Chain A
Amino acid sequence: MGRIFITGGRIVDPSLGMDGVGDLVIQDGRIEAVERGVALPDGAQVIDASGMVVCPGFIDLHCHLREPGFEYKETIATGTAAAARGGFTTVCAMPNTNPVMDTRAAVEFVLERARVGGVVRVLPIGAVTKGSGGAELAEMAELADAGVVGFSDDGHPVADANVMRQALAYASGLGLPIINHCEVSELSAGGVMNEGWVSNRLGLRGIPAAAEEIMVARDIALAETTGGRLHIAHASAAATVELARRAKDRGLDVTCEATPHHLTLTDEAVMGGPGAGPFGPLPEAAYDTNAKVAPPLRAREDVAAMAAGLRDGAVDFVATDHAPHGRTEKLCTFDEAANGISVLETALGSLMSLVHAGGLPLPTLVERLTTAPARFLGMELGALRPGSPADVTIFDPEAEWVVDPAAFASKGKNTPLAGTTLKGRVTATLFGGEIVYDGMTGAERLQGKIRTEYAGLVGELP
């Protein structure tokens, strides 16, 4: 493996406190040097990154790769290709596969498939309970030994408070977190979207934000009781952010993630886009099944609180909850539709809207996508420190593009963002020093000015 020289980009690495124009040298899959004005090494492949941001590869702590069991929705090969396109070099795979990842064999299968066909790093998450049935703990120590980075029954909340208590306590002995999908079923049963004026407008059954808040409060109490590591998956409600903030203030080991959609979209997306405004007639596109997700997209106040939490750190990091589905699972009535959004390839564009709106400094966003999740994993990732694996994402913060799900690498075309314009796009992704996504030469090219300005971005200098 040779040398790669990434020159002229804005290098942002919060772990090094770095934000400025500089050069990056990669040698044999590792970062060799990162500084300003490095002399061009002999025989290096040169990437002209001027106008671009160069940062550590993004880390996604929460995605669904669907393999084994639901290969028609996604495979580890297609899911990791989608990750690379989205700038992610590490993805954590949720265990709600078939069979559920509750045994060493299931974990090893996923790791093997990732080794053979994966484009980026895959870290498995094991089930909390056998079959994610919520009753008896899975063999957590065995799973930890096989390589899982945490435990979750995602898709299903750990409903029983005692099971949750035991899980937090048991996992604390392994140093691993319990990642809970917080939602009490007594309040969520039958609901298909956020409860509020939109659900009333549409005549759909709502799920109140309190369904999440109640279980978050319970789990924080149990984290305190056990001293365990609690991680709140896909927070959606303003109250959750406040509870997480207070738990941290009290010194508890509680972390919280937010998805790009809960940070940027409201429940009004179910009405099928802005249409004629909140009080106008419903457009034909109303009841957009691609906006159906668990937990549901919430009200404007919740979305604002999530974004504020991401800025001030009450929300520790971004995770995608990438949840690809087959066509028929969304081509139906809203009540029948499956929950989930295909997120990996639109995540950066969505999140950059927070930066462009002026509410979030770009280095903070990068921190929430790299340094913070790396710290959570306790791994030498998410940094451009010399000697680290050369996982690097290069993105153009100003590039505007129109979301076309047909062009996704993911099998999941289910996104409520189809046809919308996002500003901010991944240009290239390097994993272990290899270019695993090249927006310039890939099948799907960047549009207009980007292509002309940066044509020949990757290549040998004469």
Chain B
Amino acid sequence: MLTTRRHALDLDDFSVREIEDVLNNAEAMREILGRDIRKTPALRGKTIITAFHEPSTRTRVSFEQAGKILSADVINVSGSGSSVEKGESLYNTALTLQAMNADVIVIRHPHAGAPHFLARHLRASIVNAGDGGHAHPTQALLDLYTMRRRFGRVEGLRVAIVGDVLYSRVARSDLWGLTAMGASVVLCAPPTLLPVDMVNGYRGAPGHPFASVEVETNVERALDGADVVMPLRLQVERQRAGHLPTLREYSRAYGINARRLALAKPNALVMHPGPMNEGVEIDPEVAHGPQSAIEEQVTNGVAVRMALLYGLTTPAREEA
């Protein structure tokens, strides 16, 4: 049970037990999603504000739907069209949100650490829906859930994360979740899109949680024997910033196509945090092929967010 948790800023402070609780509750939430009348009064009277300071459809709608199915009042405050566009600081936005007495604030922000800033200054529970290049914990939870639903476990799975690791908040949160749950992770990217400390061996320090993570610049080797293949979105800005010669070359060297997918295990799952650049990091044939779990990830996202919102807003309970 999420007995004492107030915020969900990243998975770095989630115990295995807590992650398992969320995944178990998500299973119950998925059952609700399958009913004719998809409504449960669990969060009646609770207010959830989604404050998205960055364009997003999938994640914002997912939180909104999760809150509404649980009968919470969900208020959307997006960056564009709000006072944020008029240059209001995050601190003043925060004070306004405080005055609305929200129980939960779901924040998406282009700057890493924005959720920590709100957590320091507000009474509400803060849920990080993606902050800069730092973390995206609910995406990682839904990834874990999707893997567990398919394989019955996460432990022992070989997960290949391919692409823009340097800037990816999804990869960072996935690393915490996957290593905690006992998966083996291989990160694969051109050296220009890998964080320097992933390359220069700092992970060898005693106690480093990512000591077992493999780093590989060759995609064929990375995919060899993988249970899960997860290409990351590659943004065209990376080409302009000089990380890559062209998207075309990236696609040729790292794009996940059917030929490469065949190097993974026969029943390997293809996942993607979205939105996809089909034809760049992933071939449309693979994205929409039989091994793709990408659509299921979206459904699972709602279930996992319901479980998390429920856990954060339900009063502390004694351990059974």
Contacts and interface: CB of A to CB of B under 8 A. Distances in A.
Given A203-B169, A284-B119, A196 B111 contact: no
A332 B91 contact: yes
B112 A335 contact: yes
Nearest to B89: A332
B120 A281 contact: no
Contacts of A335: 110-112, 132
A203 B136 CA distance: 11
Interface in A82-105: none
Contacts of A336: 89-90, 111
A333 B114 contact: yes
A282 interface: yes
Contact of A205 (B9, B13, B133, B208): B133
Contacts of B10: 281-282
Given A196-B196, A203-B134, A332 B90 contact: yes
Interface in A258-288: 277-282, 284-287
A185 to B, nearest CB: 14
Contacts of A331: 89, 91
Contacts of B36: none
Given A200-B198, A202-B134, A282-B116, A334 B91 contact: no
Interface centre among B10, B89, B131, B195 (most CB of A within 10 A): B195
A339 B210 CA distance: 31
Nearest to B210: A279
Interface residues of A, number: 28
Nearest to B167: A203
A333 B109 contact: yes
Contacts of B117: 287, 332-333
Contact of A203 (B132, B196, B209): B132
A245 to B, nearest CB: 24
A67 interface: no
Interface string B117-135: 1011000000000011111
Contacts of B89: 328, 331-332, 336
A228 B112 CA distance: 43
Contacts of B79: none
Nearest to A205: B133
A109 interface: no
A33 interface: no
A286 B111 contact: no
Contacts of A332: 89-91, 117
Given A197-B202, A200-B196, A285 B91 contact: no
Interface in A194-208: 195-197, 199-200, 202-206, 208
Interface residues of B, number: 34
B197 interface: yes
B112 A203 contact: yes
A196 to B, nearest CB: 6
A282 B12 contact: yes
B284 interface: no
A203 B109 contact: no
Given A286-B113, A334-B111, A204 B132 contact: yes
A199 B202 CA distance: 13
Interface string A305-332: 0000000000000000000000010011
Nearest to A331: B91
A200 to B, nearest CB: 4
A208 B196 CA distance: 10
Interface in A179-218: 195-197, 199-200, 202-206, 208
DSSP class of A's interface residues: helix, strand, loop or mixed?
A: loop
B108 interface: no
B14 to A, nearest CB: 9
B197 A197 contact: yes
Contacts of B169: 203
Contacts of A328: 89, 91
B209 A333 contact: no
Given A284-B120, A286-B116, A334-B113, A203 B12 contact: no
B202 A203 contact: no
Given A195-B196, A279-B209, A281-B12, A202 B91 contact: no
Interface string B165-209: 000010010000000000000000000000111100010010111
A229 B209 CA distance: 48
Contacts of B195: 197, 199-200
Interface in B35-79: none
Contacts of A202: 112-113, 134
Nearest to B132: A203
B112 A281 contact: no
B5 to A, nearest CB: 12
A203 B116 contact: no
Nearest to A195: B196
Interface string B129-153: 0011111000000000000000000
A167 B112 CA distance: 39
Interface string A1-20: 00000000000000000000
B20 to A, nearest CB: 18
Interface centre among A195, A278, A328, A334 (most CB of B within 10 A): A334
A60 to B, nearest CB: 31
Given A279-B207, A282-B10, A285-B120, A334 B197 contact: no
Interface in A359-414: none
B113 A333 contact: yes
B9 to A, nearest CB: 7
B40 to A, nearest CB: 31
A203 B197 contact: no
A287 B91 contact: no
A389 B205 CA distance: 53
Interface string B4-19: 0001011011000000
24 contacts: A196-B197, A197-B195, A199-B195, A200-B195, A200-B198, A202-B113, A204-B113, A277-B207, A282-B9, A284-B7, A284-B116, A284-B120, A286-B116, A287-B112, A287-B113, A328-B89, A328-B91, A331-B89, A332-B89, A332-B90, A333-B109, A333-B114, A334-B112, A336-B111
The 9 closest A-B pairs by CB, nearest first: A203-B134, A287-B113, A281-B13, A203-B133, A197-B197, A333-B111, A200-B195, A203-B112, A335-B111
Given A277-B207, A282-B10, A333-B113, 20 more contacts: A197-B202, A200-B196, A203-B132, A204-B112, A204-B132, A205-B133, A282-B13, A284-B9, A284-B116, A284-B119, A286-B113, A287-B116, A328-B89, A328-B91, A332-B90, A333-B109, A334-B112, A334-B113, A336-B90, A336-B111
Interface of B: 7, 9-10, 12-13, 89-91, 109-114, 116-117, 119-120, 131-135, 169, 172, 195-198, 202, 205, 207-209
Interface of A: 195-197, 199-200, 202-206, 208, 277-282, 284-287, 328, 331-336
